[in-house]
Chain A
Amino acid sequence: MSAETIRGKQSISFREAPHIVSRASIVGKKEGEGPLGNLFDRVEEDPMLGQASWEEAESALQKQAARLAMEKAGPGVPPVRYLFSGDLLGQLIATSFGVMDLKLPLFGLYGACSTIGEALMLGAMTVQGGYSDAVLALTSSHFGSAEKQFRFPLAYGNQRPLSATWTVTGSGAFVLAHSGGKARVTGATPGRVVDYGLKDSMNMGACMAPAACDTICAHLEDFGRTPQDYDYIITGDLGSVGQTLLLELAGKRGFDLEGRHLDCGMLIFDSKAQDTHAGGSGCACSAVTLASYILPKIESGEWRRVLFVPTGALLSTVSYNEGQSVPGIAHAVVIEYC
C-alpha cells in the first residue's frame, strides 16, 4: 500500500486501514420478507416498534442497531469513543433522540441516503488519525417518517410512478477500530454535489446517477484503477432506472461498469413481488445491505475488494416547492478483505 494519504484530486488512502470489527442490521417487516430477509440480525414486525410515532420508531431502530453493533464488537475492542450518525428527518431528530441514551459524543451528519458512506469515511479518518481507538458509524431510515416528511400521509391514496423507490425501514451500525475483523476501509473518495438539473423527486435514481458517476470516475482516476480492480462497485439506492443511467454515463467517461455494478436498492427488495417499483432507498438501504450482505462476502474472502458508494438526493420539500432541481451526492468507500 502506498504511504501517501492524500490521493489524486479528492481521495484518501488509509496507511493503517481501520478495520470494520462489527456490524449490525435491524430492519422492518417488508425488508425481512425481501431477498436478504434471513441475513439481517433482527427483523422488527411492528412498524412502530412499540413507540408513539414514526419518528420515535426510527430512533428506536438506531438505538437498537448501535447497541447490537457495540455488543457484537466484544470485549477485545476498545470502547467506542465517538458516534458518526445521521438520518433523513429534519434537524436529524431520529439520530439525536435515538442515540441520546448511548451517552457518547456525537457528530451528526446529513448526506441524505449517502450518510453511511460519510459516516464510515469520517470514522475511518478519526481512527487512522489516532483521535479515537474505536468509533461507531450509524444511520437509519423509516418508510413512515420519510413518506410523512417528503411526500404524503401514509393513508393518502395515490399512485407511485414506476421510477419511484421504496424507503427502507431499518438501521445499520458499524464499529471501526485499529484491529480485529476481516474487513477494512482502505480508501475513500468523498463526493461532490452534482446537479444535472432534474426536478423529478419521484425519479431519484436519475437525479443521483450523475453524482454516483462523478464520484466513481474520480475515485478510479485518483487511485489509477479500473473497474476490474474491484469485485463489485456497489451503489446505494440508484434503483433500476439509476443503474441504467450510471452504466451509460460511466461508459461515456471511458469506464465500463457492465457486470461489475450492483445496487443495494435492487438487492434488498424483489421489485415485482413486493411492488417497490425501481428499488429500495433511504439511509438504511445501503447501510443494512452492507451489514448483512456485502461485508459477510468480504469477510469470507469471496470478495477481495469492493467499492461501496452510497448515494443521496439532496432535496427538501421547500427546495422542491420553490422550483429547485434535485442534486445528488455519492461517497465512495473502499472495503477490502484482510
Chain B
Amino acid sequence: MSEASEQEKQEYSELVKEATPVHSLGAQMLKAFLTGGIICCAGQGILNYAERLGLEKDAAGAWCSVLLVLASVVLTGLNLFGRIARWGGAGALVPITGFANSVAAPAIEYQKEGQVFGIGCKIFTIAGPVILYGTVASWLLGLIYWVLKTIGI
C-alpha cells in the first residue's frame, strides 16, 4: 500500500471537506419537524380517540404504539417508508415508526437466507444496539434509583 504522509493526509482531508457538499441543516430540520410532527399528531389522534371510546390511559397508549408500529411495518412492506424517511429524515426515524422500520426491513431482506440464519439471526442487525444499550441504560438508572431510595433521598 502506498501511504501518504501525515501532512499530505491532513491537507487532503481539508481539501475533501471543501469539495464535499452537505445537506442544508435548516431545510433538513424543517422537514424533520414537519414529518415528526405529523406522526406525533397521528399518535395523539389515536390516543384521544381511544380514550373517547372509554379505554384506560395505559391501554389507549398501548393501542397508539401498536397502530403506529403496524402502519410503519405496512409502509415498509409497500416500500414507501424509505421515501418518507429520505424526505423527513430523523422526523420519521426517531419516533417508534423508525424503530419498527429498522426491524421490518431486515426481516424482509434476510428472509431469503432462511428462518433461522436469515430472519432469526439478522432481524435485529439495526435495532439490536438500541435494544441492548436501551436495556442496559434502564437497568443502570433503575440501580441508581434503588440506591438513592435505599439511602433515603
Contact = CB atoms under 8 A, between A and B. Distances in A.
Interface in A148-202: 148, 152-163, 192-198
A197 B3 CA distance: 8
A97 to B, nearest CB: 14
Given A159-B23, A193-B2, A196-B4, A154 B16 contact: no
Interface string B79-97: 1011011100100110000
Interface residues of A, number: 32
B47 interface: no
A263 interface: no
Interface residues of B, number: 37
B106 A157 contact: no
Given A52-B112, A195-B4, A156 B102 contact: yes
A156 B106 contact: yes
B57 interface: no
Nearest to B21: A162
Interface stretch (B7-15, B128-136, B138-146): B7-15
Q: Is the interface of A mostly helix, strand, loop or mixed?
A: loop
Contacts of A154: 82, 105, 108-109
A327 B2 CA distance: 9
Contacts of A327: 1
A206 interface: yes
Given A158-B82, A203-B20, A214-B2, 4 more contacts: A152-B105, A153-B105, A157-B81, A193-B2
24 contacts: A52-B112, A53-B112, A152-B105, A152-B126, A154-B105, A154-B109, A156-B101, A156-B102, A156-B105, A156-B106, A157-B98, A159-B89, A160-B86, A161-B23, A162-B20, A195-B3, A196-B8, A197-B12, A203-B16, A203-B20, A206-B19, A214-B2, A241-B16, A244-B19
Interface of A: 52-53, 148, 152-163, 192-198, 203, 206, 210, 214, 241, 244-245, 248-249, 327
